[in-house]
Amino acid sequence: MKEIVDIVDIKKEIKKDRRAFIKNVLSGTIAGSLLMVIPAGAALDQRLPEQLPGMRGNDSPFTEKKFAFIVDVTACIGCGSCCVADKNEYNVPDGNYRTWVERYIIDDHDEVFVDSPNGGLDGYTKPRKDIPNPVRDTFFVPKLCNMCEKPSCVQVCPVGATYKTEDGFILVDKKRCVGCGYCIQACPYSVRFLNPVSRTAEKCTWCYHRVREGLLPACVNVCPTHARKFGDLNDKKSEVYKILREPHVISVLKPDMGNQPALHYLGLRREVV
Amino acid sequence: MEKKYKSAYYSHVIKIALILIIGGVLAVWARGLFLPDTMGQYGHYRGSDLEDQRNVEVRNHTNESCYECHRPIRLVHKAGVHKTVSCEFCHGPYADHITDGKYVAKMPVKRDMEIKTLCLRCHNEIIRARPEESIKVVAMPLHLEEKKVNVEHNCNQCHMVHDPLLWVKAAYDMMGLEMKGDKK
């Protein structure tokens, strides 16, 4: 009975304005089919290529992945693309660096000279003139958060603002942080700083927000020489898995601190701290 | 003798116990009041911060995002030796140009000497830490002298910035010469 009434209603509707009716039906169909394609609430342009497969549209709080970051010291040219991208991504205040590039110069008396003018943000344009002896070895070392397996920063936070997610990211809760600075002192790699604007601790997050959208971290994405590599260790086809599994000279910074970083370096020299 | 000092009443003990119990209850209540709702959901942190962290704005996009609109540059840049160089490194982040799918501002374009500074940021031979396998370095103004051009020349007078060897290769082809170190 109700169906007949409905059909009569529709017929009335069509009679009233045929053009408007078709318009409504069509737009409804198109919008409906689009909703099935585009996940609701996603601000990011979905046409962006997915650089990390299987991340987009995953709404669970933690992923099943085990991420690793590899920096190839033998490939880095010290252009500072990574530093520029990082500053742009987070609007990092001047004088603070979530990632930076250090220049190491070792002379033939085994004396080590390290500098990092403006964190490598302006690139390296001038050679160092104060090296007394002939240079034996020189290279660039990009630095960022080591995402330790046993993070000392998490352990010392008195308010639970710094934490480790189940998929291995160490993050800082801006709303919870009171800016006491314990974590800044506890970090063996000095990657943390107190944001002068928000007065909270801040550090590299391996671009958690980008990774969860299936994008590579900003610095990895821009690196022209592919010196920065990022991937999933659970995926046996990934580049990082292959590098960490096959024989290479792979090392982490300050292994004696016992933090077990997930950031690995290829071709690192023993002089690097 | 000792018994004399022991009070027959327990009221003071009861008072202390009461204060402690009430204090404890108040403390637990106050703790619940001040702690965020999702604190301790997954561990000793605010669970809803995971959502906050995911909602950080993606400001740098990929080269592919730029190619969506800038088609002619795509053909040149993707085919050239500079294909791994990020558009956003020279021109600034995507989000300053497009926000919510809409054009908001013009991207800065490097001109004149800025271009030379930018080129030398990576290609300057003076910085010896650059590995040969990663990049071709040149010494200035030696490179200009070697190529027998005016030492005042800017890089982009011979090299197209989006594909530095495009014009050079074309010139070699025109002359029927083989390019030095050409892998092809």
- Residue the block writes with tokens 């990211």: A169
Residues B122, A79: C-beta atoms closer than 8 Å: yes
A158 interfacial to chain B (CB closer than 8 Å):
no
Q: Nearest CB to B131: which of A74, A105, A171?
A: A74
How distant, in Å, are the alpha carbons of B69, B93, B105, B173, B184 from that of B179?
Answer: 33, 36, 41, 9, 9
Q: For the segment B94-123, what is each residue's pLDDT rounded down to a tens digit? A: 999 998 888 999 998 988 889 999 999 999
Average pLDDT over residues A147-164: 96
* pLDDT of residue B142 exceeding 50: yes
Spatial separation of the C-alpha atoms in residues B153 and B143, rounded to whole Å: 11
Instruction: Calculate the dihedral angle through the C-alpha atoms of B87, B93, B94, B100, rounding to the nearest 10 degrees.
Output: 180
**A187 contacts A211 by C-beta, under 8 angstroms:** no
Hey, what are B161's tokens?
């910035």
* pLDDT of residue A56 exceeding 70: yes
A32 interfacial to chain B (CB closer than 8 Å):
no
Q: Nearest CB to A124: which of B56, B100, B127?
A: B127
* pLDDT of residue A42 exceeding 50: no
* pLDDT of residue A3 exceeding 60: no
Long-range contacts, A97-102 (Cβ 8 Å, 24+): A97/A121, A97/A193, A98/A144, A98/A145, A98/A191, A98/A202, A98/A203, A98/A204, A99/A142, A99/A143, A99/A144, A99/A204, A99/A219, A100/A142, A100/A143, A101/A76, A101/A140, A101/A141, A101/A142, A101/A143, A102/A140, A102/A141, A102/A142, A102/A143
Nearest CA in chain B to A46: B65
Low-confidence winner among A193-207, B74-88, B166-180 (lowest mean pLDDT): B166-180
Residues B93, A78: C-beta atoms closer than 8 Å: no
Q: For the segment B13-71, what is each residue's pLDDT rounded down to a tens digit? A: 999 999 999 999 999 999 999 899 899 899 999 999 999 999 999 999 999 999 989 99
Per CATH, the number for B57-108 is 1.10.287
Count H helices and E strands in chain B, helices first: 8, 2
Residues A139, B129: C-beta atoms closer than 8 Å: yes
Min Cα–Cα distance to chain B from A23, Å: 25
Closest by CA position to A164, among listed A122, A131, A206: A206
CATH of the structural domain A48-273, one choice from 3.30.70.360, 3.30.70.20, 1.10.287.3510, 3.20.20.60:
3.30.70.20
Closest by CA position to A164, among listed B170, B45, B147: B45
Q: Which chain A residues are Cβ-neighbours of B85 within 8 angstroms?
A: 81, 224
Q: Which chain A residues are Cβ-neighbours of B46 within 8 angstroms?
A: 160, 173, 175-176
Average pLDDT over residues A65-85: 95
- Residue the block writes with tokens 């292959």: A242
Q: What is the pLDDT at residue B29? A: 95
Q: What percent of chain B has pLDDT over 90?
A: 70
Beta-bridged to residue B175, according to DSSP, are none
Domain map (residue ranges) of chain B = 10-39+48-56, 57-108, 110-179
Q: For the segment A104-130, what is each residue's pLDDT rounded down to a tens digit? A: 999 999 999 999 999 999 999 999 999
Average pLDDT over residues B80-98: 93
ipTM comes to 0.84
A123 interfacial to chain B (CB closer than 8 Å):
yes
What's the gap between Cα A65 and its chain centre? 15
Q: What is the pLDDT at residue A236? A: 92
Residues B45, A176: C-beta atoms closer than 8 Å: yes
Q: Nearest CB to B85: which of A45, A123, A224?
A: A224
A43 interfacial to chain B (CB closer than 8 Å):
yes
Min Cα–Cα distance to chain B from A255, Å: 25
Low-confidence winner among A213-222, B3-12, B134-143 (lowest mean pLDDT): B3-12
**B120 contacts A125 by C-beta, under 8 angstroms:** yes
Residues B53, A124: C-beta atoms closer than 8 Å: no
Q: Which chain A residues are Cβ-neighbours of B66 within 8 angstroms?
A: none
Q: For the segment A231-271, what is each residue's pLDDT rounded down to a tens digit? A: 999 999 999 999 999 888 889 999 999 999 999 999 999 99
Closest by CA position to A269, among listed B126, B129, B137, B121: B129
* pLDDT of residue B79 exceeding 50: yes
* pLDDT of residue A149 exceeding 60: yes
Residues A127, B127: C-beta atoms closer than 8 Å: yes
Q: Helix A2-16 and helix A18-37: axis angle, to 10°?
A: 110
Closest by CA position to A128, among listed A101, A109, A107, A142: A107
Hey, what are A115's tokens?
């500098």
Spatial separation of the C-alpha atoms in residues A143 and A263, rounded to whole Å: 9
Hey, what are A192's tokens?
């943390």
Q: From start to end of chain A, where are the E strands?
A: 67-72, 100-107, 112-115, 135-143, 162-164, 170-172, 193-194, 201-202, 228-232, 250-251, 263-266
Spatial separation of the C-alpha atoms in residues A272 and A106, rounded to whole Å: 10
Q: What is the pLDDT at residue A40? A: 38
Q: Which chain A residues are Cβ-neighbours of B127 within 8 angstroms?
A: 78, 103, 124-125, 127
* pLDDT of residue A273 exceeding 70: yes
**B95 contacts B104 by C-beta, under 8 angstroms:** no
Min Cα–Cα distance to chain A from B37, Å: 12
Spatial separation of the C-alpha atoms in residues A160 and A154, rounded to whole Å: 8
Hey, what are B45's tokens?
């942190």
* pLDDT of residue A37 exceeding 50: no
Residues A76, B93: C-beta atoms closer than 8 Å: no
Q: How high is the mean pLDDT of chain B?
A: 90
Q: Nearest CB to B46: which of A165, A173, A221?
A: A173
Average pLDDT over residues A217-232: 96
Q: How high is the mean pLDDT of chain A?
A: 87
